[in-house]
């Protein structure tokens, strides 16, 4: 197949198309996976911030007594609390807290009064954050160094439900962005690697897919060449006979009859060859459409042995049958086709058995199959030819086949009929020791 430019080009096209489609699918899948991972982590961050903010918010409101004033007990909740110009507590409070999430290094806390003035910070507070207050519930902000933060703002009230101010809990998105960068690199490196592997696999799969097509193409090529050769021979003979007759000034009745007999013989050969080709084409394209019927193999074998006895006598070959079963063996199928199948095997055995030889037709069965064997003591078949004898137009001995009028389609037709009846046809032979053809049909 590698030597055929058409199939090689088609193989490349299939491989490239398959790789392109798979690359597109993987790209979309990778983009979807990236978005899903980013969304899942973003939702997790939101939930974590809400949880931290909710816990601290509820705890702080229980301890706030006056608007804009932090009570000393607040330092028990917030680590690293730093006051910014607020009356009450001037010094930095000792680091004591009850919420471990604030101490992870990602979180910071900002407290604003009701006018939006920053009162205090806590946690891992970045000094580069903008001081402008925004009361939006969710915010994503960027500091002067380009670092991104995500925060939540919640209103605070005193124990008496007075407006105290605002409470913000935020965290750095550095770890989140680092994780997404890692995912991006994995996808960027993984996609080309996957495409290379897919391209290689596509080339191999395209080759496997093209093998049966290429095999069928070669068979069609061979079949067309052989059919043209077989048709050309009788046509050339007929043409030569007609041209010879036309060049003869006067033909007597004997010469004319001889010419007509030659043309008739070649026409019969052409007719038989075309009929065989049509039968094979019809059986290749569709199953047996005739109404199935029971065919008795006992009667079929006995009728064929009786009908072909004259041919065997003319060839000086002993034709006998051996029925090894007591009951009638019936199979479902087309009786005419089965008749032709077994007839082809017997005629083939007679033609390739020298004078004084013997052909035996054996009918037997096992539990599920009827078995027909055609044994001869003929010239046999070489091991190299045995695998190809069921190919169309294949002949072990071309000269002898042409002498007997064979076209190389008899065994091919027999094999096709056997398969159409869900059976099998095989052969075993030794050169110079005869051959045995084994037909097995389901009962």
What tens digit of pLDDT does each residue of 179-192 get?
999 999 998 898 88
Q: Are the C-beta atoms of 49 and 60 separated by less than 8 Å?
A: no
313 pLDDT above the threshold of 60: yes
Q: Are the C-beta atoms of 154 and 166 separated by less than 8 Å?
A: yes
Ranges 41-55, 92-106, 210-224, 373-387: which has the least confidence: 92-106
Higher pLDDT, 281 or 365: 365
CA neighbor of 348 nearest in space, from 327, 379, 325: 379
Q: Are the C-beta atoms of 123 and 104 separated by less than 8 Å?
A: no
- Alpha-carbon radius of gyration of the chain: 47
CA dist 95 and 74 (Å) reads 11
Q: What is the mean pLDDT of residues 278-290?
A: 62
* Residue 408 main-chain phi, psi, to 5 deg: 85, 15
Identify the pLDDT of residue 278.
74
**DSSP calls for 345-369:** HHHHHHHTS-TT-EEEEEEEE-SSE
pLDDT band at 35; cut points 50, 70, 90: very high
Identify the pLDDT of residue 54.
87
CA dist 364 and 58 (Å) reads 95
**Which residues have CB under 8 Å from 236's CB, separation 6+?**
none
Q: Quote the mean pLDDT of the chain.
A: 80
CA dist 326 and 426 (Å) reads 25
- Mapped onto helix, strand or coil, the DSSP state of residue 39 is helix
Q: Are the C-beta atoms of 362 and 375 separated by less than 8 Å?
A: yes
Of 43-52, 61-70, 246-255, 276-285, which one has max mean pLDDT?
43-52
Looking up tokens 């190389």 gives: 408
CA dist 254 and 51 (Å) reads 117
CA dist 443 and 417 (Å) reads 16
**Which residues have CB under 8 Å from 103's CB, separation 6+?**
79, 97, 123
Tell me the two tokens of residue 252: 């007597």
Ranges 169-178, 217-226, 391-400: which has the least confidence: 391-400
CA neighbor of 104 nearest in space, from 45, 167, 62: 45
Q: In 286-390, which ranges are continuous DSSP H helix? A: 297-307, 309-314, 335-351, 383-386
* Residue 318 main-chain phi, psi, to 5 deg: -85, 120
CA neighbor of 332 nearest in space, from 414, 415, 438, 423: 423
pLDDT band at 395; cut points 50, 70, 90: low
Q: Which residues of 311-337 are buried (b: 16+ CB within 10 A; e: fewer)?
A: ebeebebebebeeeeeeebebebbeeb
**What number of CA atoms fall less than 13 Å from residue 401's CA on the CB side?**
15
CA dist 421 and 39 (Å) reads 62
C-alpha torsion angle, residues 13, 19, 25, 31 (rounded to 10): -130
Q: Are the C-beta atoms of 121 and 85 separated by less than 8 Å?
A: no
């Amino acid at each position: 197949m590698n030597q055929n430019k058409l199939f090689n080009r088609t193989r490349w096209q299939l491989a490239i198309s398959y790789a392109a489609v798979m690359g597109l699918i993987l790209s979309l899948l990778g983009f979807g996976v990236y978005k899903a991972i980013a969304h899942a982590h973003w939702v997790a961050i939101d939930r974590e911030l809400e949880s931290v903010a909710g816990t601290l918010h509820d705890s702080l409101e229980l301890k706030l007594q006056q608007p804009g004033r932090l009570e000393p007990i607040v330092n028990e909740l917030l680590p690293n609390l730093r006051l910014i110009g607020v009356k009450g507590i001037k010094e930095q409070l000792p680091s004591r807290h009850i919420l471990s999430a604030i101490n992870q290094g990602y979180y910071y806390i900002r407290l604003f009064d009701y006018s939006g003035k920053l009162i205090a910070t806590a946690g891992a507070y970045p000094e580069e954050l903008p001081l402008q207050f925004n009361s939006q519930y969710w915010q994503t902000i960027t500091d002067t160094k380009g670092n991104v933060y995500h925060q939540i703002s919640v209103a605070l009230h005193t124990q008496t439900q007075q407006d105290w101010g605002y409470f913000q809990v935020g965290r750095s998105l550095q770890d989140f962005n680092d994780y997404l960068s890692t995912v991006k690199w994995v996808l960027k490196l993984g996609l080309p690697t996957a495409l290379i592997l897919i391209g290689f696999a596509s080339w191999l799969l395209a080759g496997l897919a093209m093998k049966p097509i290429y095999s069928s193409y070669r068979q069609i090529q061979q079949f067309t060449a052989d059919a043209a050769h077989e048709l050309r021979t009788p046509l050339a003979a007929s043409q030569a006979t007609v041209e010879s007759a036309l060049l003869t000034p006067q033909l007597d009745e004997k010469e004319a009859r001889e010419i007509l007999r030659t043309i008739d013989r070649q026409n019969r050969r052409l007719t038989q060859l075309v009929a065989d080709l049509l039968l094979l084409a019809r059986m290749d394209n569709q199953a047996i459409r005739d109404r199935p019927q029971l065919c008795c193999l006992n009667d079929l074998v006995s009728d064929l042995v009786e009908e072909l006895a004259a041919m065997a006598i003319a060839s000086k070959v002993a034709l006998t049958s051996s029925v090894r079963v007591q009951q009638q063996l019936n199979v479902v199928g087309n009786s005419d086709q089965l008749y032709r199948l077994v007839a082809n095997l017997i005629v083939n055995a007679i033609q390739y058995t020298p004078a004084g030889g013997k052909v035996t037709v054996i009918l037997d069965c096992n539990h599920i199959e009827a078995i027909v064997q055609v044994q001869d003591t003929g010239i046999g078949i070489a091991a190299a030819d045995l695998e190809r004898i069921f190919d169309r137009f294949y002949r072990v001995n071309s000269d002898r086949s042409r002498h007997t009028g064979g076209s190389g389609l008899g065994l091919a037709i027999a094999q096709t009929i056997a398969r159409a009846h869900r059976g099998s046809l095989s052969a075993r032979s030794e050169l110079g020791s005869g051959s045995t053809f084994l037909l097995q049909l389901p009962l």
